[in-house]
């Protein structure tokens, strides 16, 4: 039996969102600092929620494990909150996939286990919310986070958004959408046809044959006097006309009319 489309959508978007959230959590690029005092002009300071790294625009060299150099940054309230919520989001997503995956194995079950799948969809939805909250909060406080790093021009600090913020937003939205779509499966509508549980049965094909008209019974009509009179006896037309006591109607080629004084029963010969 085929897997319903809403479960396929959830099983595709949830792992993709989980990978993006994992990258956003472990990577040290939530915000970048440029024009740092005491550093070369090509130095870029990348600050994350776990570590700080220095990169250089003129080379591929990366220096990490610089957490101890900026303890003021990690003392911001948002940092420990973001650490806990991002890790919780990854764990909740894993639990949600653990619920949804066996519930959607339609090749072994007669139909999907919608209650179990809906519970997994609810967990995936919550994991997406757990990702979006710290990302949005950090973005709001991005230019005002305290740091011990000094800038060449303190009045014009060059602070930019890191790629982890973008990946976190995308991953969180994907998980929210996947959770909503999977949770919709708990609504049993139209006997499961809209969710793909049961294949729609086609009406049986009927072959229509042309109906033959019923032949009417043959009726023997008695022969008229004219047919009786038309025998094989050789006599003239004038002789036949003399045998009847009423005037005979003339043919279409004649110029006479029917005698109106006759009141007898008409016969076929008169037509």
Q: What is the pLDDT of residue 10?
A: 82
Confidence bin at 109 (pLDDT 50/70/90): low
- pLDDT at 101 (0 to 100): 81
Q: Where is pLDDT greater, at 263 or 22? A: 22
Q: What is the pLDDT of residue 190?
A: 38
Helix or strand holding residue 263 (H, E):
none
CB-based contact 122:183 (threshold 8 Å)? yes
Token output for 124 = 């995936």
Beta carbons within 8 Å of 29's beta carbon, 6+ residues apart: 46, 47, 48, 53, 162, 163, 164
Band (pLDDT 50/70/90 cuts) for residue 67 is confident
Q: Tens digit of pLDDT for each residue in 8-57? A: 888 889 999 999 999 999 998 999 988 888 888 888 889 999 999 988 88
pLDDT at 60: 84
Please state the rounded mean pLDDT for residues 238-244.
50
At residue 189, the pLDDT reads 40
pLDDT at 182 (0 to 100): 85
Highest mean pLDDT among 23-32, 203-212, 240-249, 254-263: 23-32
Q: What pLDDT score was predicted for residue 195?
A: 46
Beta bridge partners of 46: 32, 53
The DSSP line for 172-237 is HHHHHHHHHHHHGGGS--GGGTTTTSSPPPPPPP-PPPPPPPPPPPP--PPP-HHHHH--S----H
- Answer CATH for 5-187 from 3.30.70.260, 1.10.15.40, 3.40.605.10, 1.20.140.150: 1.20.140.150
Q: Is the dihedral of CA 172, 174, 176, 179 positive or negative?
A: negative
For residue 102, pLDDT beyond 50: yes
Q: Specify the higher pLDDT residue, 50 or 103.
A: 50
Q: Is the pLDDT of residue 156 over 90?
A: no
| pLDDT greater than 90 at residue 211 | no
Q: What is the mean pLDDT of residues 136-151?
A: 88
Q: For residues 103-135, b (16+ Cβ closer than 10 Å) or e, as one string?
A: bbebeeeeebbbeebbbbbbbbbbbbebbbbbb
pLDDT higher at 7 or 227: 7
Q: Percentage of the chain with pLDDT > 90?
A: 27
Cα 219–Cα 224–Cα 228 angle in degrees, nearest 5: 115
Between 8 and 137, name the one with better pLDDT.
137
pLDDT reading at 197 higher than 60: no
The mean predicted confidence, pLDDT, of the chain is 76
Nearest 10 degrees: CA dihedral of 118, 119, 121, 122? 120
């Amino acid at each position: 039996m085929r897997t319903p489309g809403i479960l396929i959508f959830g099983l595709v978007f949830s792992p993709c969102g989980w990978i993006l959230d994992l990258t956003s959590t472990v990577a040290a690029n939530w915000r970048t600092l440029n024009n740092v005092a005491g550093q070369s002009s090509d130095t870029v300071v990348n600050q994350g929620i776990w570590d700080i790294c220095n990169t250089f625009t003129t080379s591929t060299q990366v220096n990490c494990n610089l957490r101890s150099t900026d303890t003021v940054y990690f003392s911001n309230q948002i940092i420990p909150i973001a650490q806990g919520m991002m890790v919780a989001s990854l764990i909740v997503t894993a639990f949600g996939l653990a619920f949804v995956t066996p519930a959607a194995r339609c090749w072994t079950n007669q139909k999907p286990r919608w209650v179990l799948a809906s519970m997994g969809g609810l967990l995936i939805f919550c994991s997406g919310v757990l990702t979006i909250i710290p990302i949005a909060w950090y973005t709001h406080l991005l230019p005002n986070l305290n740091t011990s790093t000094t800038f060449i021009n303190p009045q014009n600090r060059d602070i930019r958004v890191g790629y982890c913020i973008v990946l976190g937003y995308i991953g969180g939205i994907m998980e929210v959408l996947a959770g909503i779509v999977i949770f919709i499966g708990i609504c049993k509508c139209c006997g499961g046809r809209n969710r793909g549980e049961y294949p729609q049965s086609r009406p049986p094909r009927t072959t229509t044959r042309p109906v033959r008209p019923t032949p009417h019974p043959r009726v023997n009509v008695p022969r008229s006097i004219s047919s009786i009179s038309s025998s094989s006896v050789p006599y003239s037309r004038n002789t036949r006309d003399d045998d009847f006591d009423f005037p005979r109607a003339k043919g279409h080629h004649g110029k006479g009319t029917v005698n109106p004084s006759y009141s007898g029963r008409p016969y076929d010969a008169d037509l």
